[in-house]
Each structure stands twice: as structure tokens, then as C-alpha cells.
């Protein structure tokens, strides 16, 4: 199970985190609603084809990727959302759409929206539609080493 793999990784790195249990929620806005956490504070994870390569992208749950900004910021020719069929088997033990933004555990590059750097903590799906992990953003950044880019209109003014 993904949560166990992720917990083991965080424990080995001596990172403090908490697990938030919640009722089943499939969309980022539903997760925000059932947990009473602002959609800006929850990082949703999406898989993008960037010049034909799968890349993990994390951004605030209440935001949408501006693919023109992503393409420009990543200096790519093409950027498009990957279909569930394209990545369904890339995350063993993980429920589709509930991948944690730890692409480094799956051999994927990670790009995050610049607005996620504004908060001291990051909250994200822990591999299921019933669990979140909350941890310090500093620790997340240190462990994942994501590229930080402006991916949304909101971050473009950041």
C-alpha cells in the first residue's frame, strides 16, 4: 500500500508528518470540503505529458493548470494532461487520482506551482481517497526536489 511506502520513506528521512483520515472524496474540491481545509492549501497531483514524457505536477487543489504557461515555463513544445489509462499502472497500490506528489519514488520528475511555496506546510493525497498527509513544505522540497514554476494565472502574478 502506498501510504505504508510513503510513511516508511518519511520515517527513514526523519520527517515529521501527520495523517488526516477523511470520508471518501474523489476530487480535490470534495477533499477540501470534507476536510474543511482550503483548496489553496491542498496540493493536487496530476500527470502531464511534457514533450511526450510523463511528469508529475502538483498545484493547489482550487487551481487549474494553464498549459500555455506550463509549456512556456518548462521550455517545452507540448504539454497536455495524461489520461488515466496512460498512467493507471505507474503507481502500484495507489488509487487512481490519489497519487502523492512524490514522483521521485516512481521515477518521475516533479513540477510544482509556485503558489505552493507560500505556505509552511503542504497537504496532499496519500495514495487513497480517504487519507491525506500534512508535512512541512521545507521537508517536502528537500526530499522531492521539484522544479518550481508558474503554472496558473494566480501564480503568474506571484
- Count structural domains, the chain: 1
In the structure, what pLDDT confidence band is assigned to residue 2 with cuts at 50, 70 and 90? Answer: low
Which residues, in sequence order, are bridge partners of residue 122? Answer: 135
Task: Tell whether the torsion through CA atoms of 24, 27, 32 and 34 is positive or negative.
Answer: negative
- Looking at the chain, the whole-number percentage of residues with pLDDT higher than 70 is 96
Q: Is 114 helix (H, G, I), strand (E, B) or coil?
A: helix
Per-residue pLDDT, 29? 82
Task: Read off the CATH number of the domain in which 83 is found.
Answer: 3.90.960.10
In the structure, what pLDDT confidence band is assigned to residue 155 with cuts at 50, 70 and 90? Answer: low
Per-residue pLDDT, 27? 86
Mean pLDDT, residues 46-63: 95
Domain coverage including residue 140: 2-156
| Phi, psi torsion values for 133, nearest 5 degrees | -120, 135
Does the structure show a pLDDT above 70 at 79?
A: yes
Terminal alpha carbon distance of the chain: 37
In the structure, what pLDDT confidence band is assigned to residue 32 with cuts at 50, 70 and 90? Answer: confident
Check residue 77 and report its DSSP letter: S
Mean pLDDT, residues 5-32: 92
- pTM for this entry: 0.92
Per-residue pLDDT, 99? 94
Per-residue pLDDT, 158? 44
Amino acid at each position: 500500500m502506498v501510504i505504508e511506502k510513503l510513511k516508511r520513506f518519511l520515517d527513514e528521512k526523519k520527517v515529521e508528518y501527520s495523517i488526516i483520515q477523511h470520508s471518501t472524496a474523489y476530487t480535490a474540491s470534495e477533499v477540501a470540503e470534507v476536510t474543511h481545509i482550503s483548496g489553496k492549501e491542498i496540493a493536487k497531483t496530476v500527470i502531464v505529458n511534457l514533450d511526450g514524457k510523463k511528469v508529475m505536477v502538483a498545484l493547489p487543489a482550487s487551481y487549474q493548470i494553464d498549459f500555455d504557461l506550463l509549456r512556456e515555463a518548462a521550455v517545452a513544445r507540448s504539454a497536455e494532461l495524461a489520461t488515466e489509462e496512460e498512467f493507471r499502472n505507474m503507481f502500484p497500490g495507489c488509487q487512481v487520482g490519489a497519487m502523492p506528489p512524490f514522483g521521485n519514488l516512481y521515477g518521475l520528475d516533479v513540477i510544482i506551482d509556485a503558489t505552493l511555496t507560500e505556505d509552511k506546510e503542504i497537504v496532499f493525497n496519500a495514495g487513497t481517497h480517504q487519507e491525506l498527509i500534512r508535512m512541512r513544505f521545507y521537508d517536502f522540497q528537500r526530499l522531492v526536489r521539484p522544479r518550481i514554476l508558474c503554472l496558473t494565472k494566480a501564480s503568474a502574478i506571484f
